[in-house]
Structures are given as structure tokens and as C-alpha cells.
Chain A
Amino acid sequence: MLRSLRALPTLLRVGLAEAVAYRAEFLVWLLSTNMPLVMLALWTAVAREAPVGRFGQRDFVAYYLATLFVRLMTGAWVIWELNMEIRQGTLAFRLLRPVHPLLAYACENVAAMPLRLAISTPVVALLVVTAGSHLTRDPLLLALFPLTVIGGWLITFLAMAVIGALAFWVESATSLFDLWLGLFGVFSGYLVPLELFPRWVGATARILPFRYMLGFPVELLVGLVDRRRALLELAVQWTWVAALLFLALGAWRAGARRFAAYGG
């Protein structure tokens, strides 16, 4: 444990160096997060005539720019790395190191944070300028916001780790992940704010993990949830984090043993 902690700064440094080295790939990855902007264009066009539910044009601007920001900050790509490394067997190198592979992956992700922040700064600036009045003013909610973003990233990362670990057993872990992504699109509020769905969809989304990866921080920031509800949902979010952490560690322990078995 202590040894892992001592390795942290180095892991972070390596991660940052990698993110900087593969700038083009990083940029492509960022550009592929363009969906909120398309939806922004779509829904503001729809809201031009009359507001949709309680969403006017400005509300949609605030919602989707916040979505873009949270998505940029919470994205992870560990599943594709995992899939490749398990198939090609290069995971063995990671397993030899005295640091838990999941921790190493997490560090690589976290290390790209400065770059991500740099890229999201214009988004935040745009958000504050064009729709600043639609953001929450409540200091408690604003203080909770970073916590919800961290929770969102943890759920994203850990879910990827769990599904990625399935590659130890089945061939098509990535098509399973496609399924996950599809559900995410609808139940997280990524494509459409959950409020605009029929009521039961929103109720279902409050139980599933997807909303806590994205929709919850966004709704909190644009002032769609009150204090009591925010605290309650924060608890749900971190329960999901704990559950997924437990699952991920379990899947990894079992999977790594199996990997060693057929890797020889």
C-alpha cells in the first residue's frame, strides 16, 4: 500500500508525459465529444418558438455546455486499453509491477487532467458568459459540484474497469460496452435532459448508475436540483462508486488469476 503511494507521483508524471506525447490522439478524443454541441444546436432551434417544458433557449445552452464540460472532465478510455492489452498479452508487464494495474490506469487518466482543464476552460468561459445567470448561486451546491464530478469520473472509470475485465472471459467485451454506452446516452441525460422524458424514465434513471456519471452534476450546476435532493443523490452516487469499486477489484482478482493461467 505504502509502496503504491510512493509510486503515485511518478505514475502521474508518466501519465502526463504520455498525454502530451499523443497530443493528436488526445485532441481527436476531445473532438469526438461533440454530441452536446449538436444537441445544443438542435434543442435551441426547437425552443426558439416556445420553451420545451421548463427549458427555454438559454436553459438548453446552460445545460448542454455544462454537459460538455462534465463529459470532458469525466471521460475515461481505459476499456480500449484493457481490451487491447488483454488480447495481446501485454498486460503481463503491468501485472509484474508492484502497483495494482487499476491504480496505474487511474493515474494515467488523472494525469491528463491538466490538459483536459486547459481544453475545457473556453467551454466554461462560454458557459459563464452566455448562460451565467442560469447557473446555481447556492454556495453549498457549488461546493458539492466538484465532488459530484469526481464521483462521476470514478463511476465511469470503474464501470469501464469492470466491463473491461470481462475480456478475461469473453471475446466481445467491447460490444458489451457499446450496449452500456447506448444506455448511457439515454439514461444519463447526455442526449436529452431527463426531465423531458416521460416521468418513469427519470425515475428509472435515478436508480441506474448512468445519471450519476453525467446528468446529476450537470443538473446540480444548472440549478435543477434543490439542496435536500442534491445531498440525497450524492449519497446514491457514492454508493455506486463503492459498489463498482468492490466489483472491479473482485473481477480483477479473479481475472488476473485466469490470465496468468492461460498466459503460461
Chain B
Amino acid sequence: MLRYLRLLGVQFRASLAVAMQYRVEFVVEGLLGLFWAFWSLVPLLVLFQHRPSVAGWSFPEALVVIGWFALMKGVLEGAVNPSLQSVVEHIRKGTLDFVLLKPADAQFLVSTAKFEPWRVIDLAGALAIFGWAFHLLGRWPTPGHVAASLLLLACAAWILYSLWILVVSAAFFVVKVDNLSFLFSSIFDAARWPASVFRGAWRLVFTFVVPLALMTTYPAEALLGRLAPGRGLSALAGAAAFGWFARVVWTRSIRRYTSASS
């Protein structure tokens, strides 16, 4: 356990060193990230120009969801995407062998291979959005609600990561998958809306197949203090189940993997 933590530290420092070499890019990409955080508000602004509330969500409440969306997008693009993008590259070139031969868990190694530290700026964007939302609401979340939402954030990140592992496992079967990450982010885009806006088939898909509701709506509800404890617990169980499922699929896929040279 301690060994893995140390390993994580090493990998992270390496990424930081790489990122610091390109300082201009660091700043430019960071600023772009902020720009996107606010650009993603546009459809929301249009929507609430025509309605005071949608599916039981007022404008400031929906803003909280967007805040979580910005935060999760930062997690996705800063910690999950870059590493797993490199797995896809490994699979295509057949160099995954080098990773598999190392004396540590392969899933751990590939998922911590690369970070993009400048994504912390997304965190600032998300905090600004939260600040604005609660300023409009005229109240602030209690420490208990913050703690609950942070717990759900951890679940959300875990689900996101598990989903990504599933996507990457698909790369073992379909070789040319450069655009799988595209598909993934295009689906993730729907997470910027409160899940209760969607009805029928979409709601089922976004709750059970791609649990977007768990990723942004639940943490937002927790922060607003309107999440029922039962649903919070089901989110925890859901995250655990997803993680387990992803792990099973990953080990199966690894077993199927034959390097390009053999």
C-alpha cells in the first residue's frame, strides 16, 4: 500500500516536471480551461432566460451542477484522460509489454502514467461557479453537506475512472480507438444538466448505464442539502460495483492481450 503511494508520488512528480518545461502552454491551457468552464454556462443561461425553474431546479441550483461538471471535467482531463490515452497508444504499438513486465499492478501503473497538473485551474473555475451559485441562493452549505458532497465527489471520480477503464479495455478488442475518448467526453457532456431534466429512456441510461447522475447531480444535491441519505448510500454502492466490474473486465482483457510482436 505504502509502496503504491510512493509510486504515485514518483509518477506525479515526473508529470509535474514535464509540465513545468512548457510553462507557456501551462498558462495558455489553464486559461483555456477557465474559458471553457464559463463557456459551458451558455446553454444554461439561455435555458433559464426562458424559465425560472426547470424540472425542480432553479438557476442557482443548476449552477451548482455545472460547478461539479467543471470539476469532474478537470479530473477527467487532468488525471484520467492523459494516462489512459497513453495506454491506447501502448496497445496500438504493442509496447504494453513493458508495462506488464514491471513488478507492480498494471492497472495502477497505466492509470497513473501521466497527469496534467495545470488542470488544477479547473478547480478554481468550479469554486468560482459554486461561489456565484451560493451567493445567488443567499446561503452557504453547512460543513456536513460539504463533507457529504466531497465523499460523493470521490465516488464520482471513482466511477469516472472505472468507466474509462472499461473504455480502454475496449481498445484491446477494437484496435483503432483514438476517438473512443471523444465518444466518452461527448457522453459526459450530458452531465452538465441535472439528471431529473431527462425522462424515460434517457434517464435510465444516465442513471444505470452511464451513471452521470451519480457524478454531478448527486454531489450537487448533497451540497445543496437536499440529497436523501438513502440515495447517497446507493451512490456509494454503485461506485463500488462499478469499480469491481471495471476491474474484472480489465483483468479479462489483459489476459486476452497478445503483444504485437508475439
A interface, CB within 8 angstroms of B: 22, 24-25, 28-29, 31-35, 38-39, 41-42, 45-46, 52-53, 77, 80, 172, 175, 178-179, 182, 185-186, 191-192, 196-198
| Inter-chain contact A175/B32, CB cutoff 8 Å | yes
| A25 contact from B32, B35, B51, B174, Cβ within 8 A | B174
| Inter-chain contact B198/A28, CB cutoff 8 Å | no
Chain B 128-170 interface residues, beta-carbon cutoff 8 Å to A: none
Q: Does B104 contact A (CB under 8 A)?
A: no
A53-B50, A175-B29 given; name 7 further pairs at CB < 8 Å: A38-B193, A45-B55, A45-B198, A46-B50, A178-B32, A192-B43, A197-B46
A-B contacts, 12 listed (Cβ < 8 Å) = A24-B176, A25-B176, A25-B179, A28-B174, A29-B179, A35-B189, A41-B199, A42-B198, A172-B25, A178-B32, A192-B47, A198-B49
> In the complex, what residues of B have CB within 8 A of residue A178's CB?
32
| Inter-chain contact A28/B51, CB cutoff 8 Å | no
Q: Does B177 contact A (CB under 8 A)?
A: yes
> In the complex, what residues of B have CB within 8 A of residue A172's CB?
25, 28
Question: What is the CA–CA distance of A6 and B176 in the complex, to the nearest angstrom?
Answer: 31
Stretch at the interface among B8-16, B180-188, B219-227, B228-236: B180-188
| A28 contact from B55, B182, B202, Cβ within 8 A | B182
Question: What is the CA–CA distance of A29 and B92 in the complex, to the nearest angstrom?
Answer: 18
Q: Does B190 contact A (CB under 8 A)?
A: yes
Question: What is the CA–CA distance of A191 and B42 in the complex, to the nearest angstrom?
Answer: 9
- For A55, the closest partner residue in chain B by CB is B50
| B183 contact from A32, A53, A80, A182, Cβ within 8 A | A32
> In the complex, what residues of A have CB within 8 A of residue B35's CB?
182
| Inter-chain contact B198/A32, CB cutoff 8 Å | no
| Inter-chain contact A32/B43, CB cutoff 8 Å | no
- For A21, the closest partner residue in chain B by CB is B176
Known interface pairs A34-B186, A35-B189, A175-B32; A196-B180 also in contact (CB < 8 Å): no
**In the complex, what's the smallest C-beta–C-beta distance from A190 to chain B, in angstroms?**
10
| A32 contact from B50, B179, B197, Cβ within 8 A | B179
Q: Does B39 contact A (CB under 8 A)?
A: yes
Question: What is the CA–CA distance of A45 and B198 in the complex, to the nearest angstrom?
Answer: 7
How many residues of chain B get a CB closer than 8 Å to chain A's CBs? 33
| Inter-chain contact A182/B39, CB cutoff 8 Å | yes
Q: Which interface residue of A45, A46, A77, A179 has the most chain B CB atoms within 10 A? A: A45
| Inter-chain contact B189/A38, CB cutoff 8 Å | yes
**In the complex, what's the smallest C-beta–C-beta distance from B261 to chain A, in angstroms?**
21
Q: Which interface residue of A42, A46, A77, A192 has the most chain B CB atoms within 10 A? A: A42
Known interface pairs A46-B54, A196-B50; A38-B190 also in contact (CB < 8 Å): yes
Task: Scan B105-123; emit 1 where CB is below 8 A from any A CB, else 0.
Answer: 0000000000000000000
> In the complex, what residues of A have CB within 8 A of residue B190's CB?
38
**In the complex, what's the smallest C-beta–C-beta distance from A33 to chain B, in angstroms?**
8
> In the complex, what residues of A have CB within 8 A of residue B4's CB?
none
> In the complex, what residues of B have CB within 8 A of residue A191's CB?
42-43
Chain B 199-213 interface residues, beta-carbon cutoff 8 Å to A: 199, 202
> In the complex, what residues of B have CB within 8 A of residue A22's CB?
176
| Inter-chain contact B178/A45, CB cutoff 8 Å | no
> In the complex, what residues of A have CB within 8 A of residue B186's CB?
32-35
| Inter-chain contact B39/A186, CB cutoff 8 Å | yes
Q: Does B36 contact A (CB under 8 A)?
A: yes
> In the complex, what residues of B have CB within 8 A of residue A42's CB?
47, 193, 197-198
| B197 contact from A24, A45, A182, A186, Cβ within 8 A | A45
Known interface pairs A24-B176, A80-B178; A46-B51 also in contact (CB < 8 Å): yes
Question: What is the CA–CA distance of A77 and B55 in the complex, to the nearest angstrom?
Answer: 37
Question: What is the CA–CA distance of A33 and B180 in the complex, to the nearest angstrom?
Answer: 12
> In the complex, what residues of B have CB within 8 A of residue A28's CB?
174, 177, 179-180, 182-183
- For A178, the closest partner residue in chain B by CB is B32
